[in-house]
Structure 1
């Protein structure tokens, strides 16, 4: 959905005083649900689970941003995050903690709610049992609560104001989190991951982004960037590029880029499309095939900073001669047509998979 998952926590809650007293049931709930990205799992997250284990028979951990490629914002897999979580507890307590992968659904609240319900049901068997939500109260709690009206909520105080973002950022720049901020199980996963090629790629990208942002430090206010992306479909295939440079080197992406100072968004999109794919379609035909456009502005969509993109959806006419020829150019290592059935979220750059599913209706 468009505003979720957030760093550290997805579900915001109301005060725990709303929980009905059950003197004969010290657990209060059969299940408490904790939704977050846990990138990485830290002592603040553990404090929430500690409370949940006191108040429920079972704790369901919905681990967000699943099935995405490793990135600066999402460096750890669901399996790695599950190891951080369960490894922080005894075998008996770990058996009461159920880790479930939760896919993102940026720009589609309804689909995200369906994923949450399905994740909970995969553990409980139904959605009518005694279920509650647990987490930290935040400013937008009333909005999040409205998404789950049938589930009560438990609020837990923020533990030393910990946030996963600075822990993750410093780790990717080379530091190891301290025991005050992370459980031993998290530090073990982080130490093991630091020896891998995947970490080295992210470490290199973190350095690139750090230098990129420093170029804007003297600006009077944080900059907002404007980009365009071209979503081109013909005969059940979508036109993609493989990124040549950081960020996201080697990932699949929609053709696109930054606008020039004196061009419209549509002109910028057509220019970037032709530069990156050398698409063999006459420009008048290409411009005439534009079906729709949409703005994508999730605040966390790009590691480079606040970046808003305008995506244009081109529907090319089917042709018995086949798909138009393409070839990678400019920032693209290669350009290629991919069957829509073979789209893979784990290969897509930033939020491009969400853009495609939103505009094409997959």
Structure 2
């Protein structure tokens, strides 16, 4: 649905990694209350990981097939990818922009499935929107589904048929062994992590039209680009003038604050020069939030 006039609809935001029955039931309930539902597939700009193993396209296909299985009118449902910004205001602006694109700039919009209560932050981020409450459906949890997948355990009962079919075939993909290694490495890293706070220093090393990037060799994020960097020691001071990135969801293993400084990285870091224009067009080649850091500091927000 695309409209330049006024309309009405509901917006359902989530990562849906993967979509399950509770997600499907939420959309069905929203369709009972609104003529059209916009489903925003979060984290669409992030690389495959144990937290976000499925692309926006894959989640769209699973979700749409699961809705069709339940008899939903897919002409009344629109899917759009939504990037992670690791900034609440920028993220909320993206949600409002996508809603205006689909429903029209003057539409009456209701937000569904974002929070468990209508908090003051919800009202601040989406002024003029209403809250569409749908019945909560206990049971399946996407985290538990992913755990079963990576541990090669039987999938939970009650998954939508198309989602179960996709998950049963997913391990045959060439990238699945890497995700399994990442899963076990992340469990080990969490179990052995020192008490926080966890801090790291990163370098934004721009050299003319290129940027110097390191390709990870560890099991966590193997093969992905990252800004060169290292952990900051417990007694080590924060570099002067560093940009701070401390969103609680930015790190895959334990919450960590990144202090990013502009300049040449120390010579002990190995890497490669990548054209900036090439790097900016490939967000899903980057580890964690490093593409977001890159775009923010280069003024590409």
Instruction: State the TM bucket, normalised to the shorter chain.
Output: 0.7 to 0.9
Q: Check if 1:32 corresponds to 2:5.
A: no
CA deviation profile, 1:8-32 (whole Å, cap 9, x unmatched): xxxxxxxxxxxxxxxxxxxxx8421
1:186 is matched with: 163
Aligned positions of 1:1-362 closer than 5 A: 30-90=8-68, 93-107=73-87, 109-124=88-103, 126-135=104-113, 137-138=115-116, 141-160=119-138, 162-180=140-158, 182-216=159-193, 223-266=196-239, 292-314=241-263, 334-343=270-279, 344-362=282-300
If you compute each CA radius of gyration, which structure gives the higher value, 1 or 2?
1
Post-superposition CA distance 1:201-220 (Å, at most 9, x none): 1011101111222225xx7x
Q: Which runs of 5+ in 1 are unaligned?
A: 1-28, 267-289, 317-323
| CA shift in 2, pair 1:264/1:303, >3 Å | same
Task: Call closer, same or farther: CA 1:77–1:68 in 2, change over 3 Å.
Answer: same
Number of equivalences: 290
Change (3 A) 1:355 1:137: closer
TM superposition shift of 1:170: 3.1
1:203-262 deviation line (CA, Å, top 9, x unaligned):
11101111222225xx7xx64422111112232432211112221111110001212345
How big is each residue's C-alpha offset from its partner over 1:265-313, in whole Å with a ceiling of 9 and x where there is no partner? 43xxxxxxxxxxxxxxxxxxxxxxx8x3122112222222122221112
Alpha-carbon shift at residue 129 of structure 1 (Å): 2.3
Counterpart-to-counterpart distance in 2, 1:313 and 1:129: 43
Q: CA deviation at 1:95?
A: 2.6
Take 1:231 and 1:132, find their aligned partners in 2: how far apart are those partners? 40
Taking the aligned partners of 1:122 and 1:136, their CA distance within structure 2 comes to 20
Question: RMSD in angstroms over aligned alpha carbons?
Answer: 2.5
Aligned residue for 1:57, secondary structure, equals coil
Three-state SS of the structure 2 residue aligned to 1:250 is coil
**Cα 1:147–1:136, aligned 2, differ >3 Å: closer, same or farther?**
closer
The structural deviation recorded for 1:110 is: 4.1
In 1, distance between residues paired with 2:126 and 2:236?
44
Structure-2 residue corresponding to 1:278 = none
Deviation at 1:128, TM superposition (A): 1.0
2:177 & 2:233 partners in 1: Cα distance?
33
The question of whether the paired residues in 2 share the 8 Å contact of 1:313 and 1:359 is answered with no
- TM-score between both structures, scaled by the size of structure 1: 0.73
TM-score (norm 2): 0.86
CA distance in 2, matches of 1:92, 1:71: 30
User: Which residue is equivalent to 1:8?
Assistant: none
Contact 1:83–1:189 (CA under 8 A) maintained in structure 2: no
Runs of 4+ in 1 over 4 A off after TM superposition: none
Write the distance in 2 (CA, Å) between the matches of 1:60 and 1:262: 48
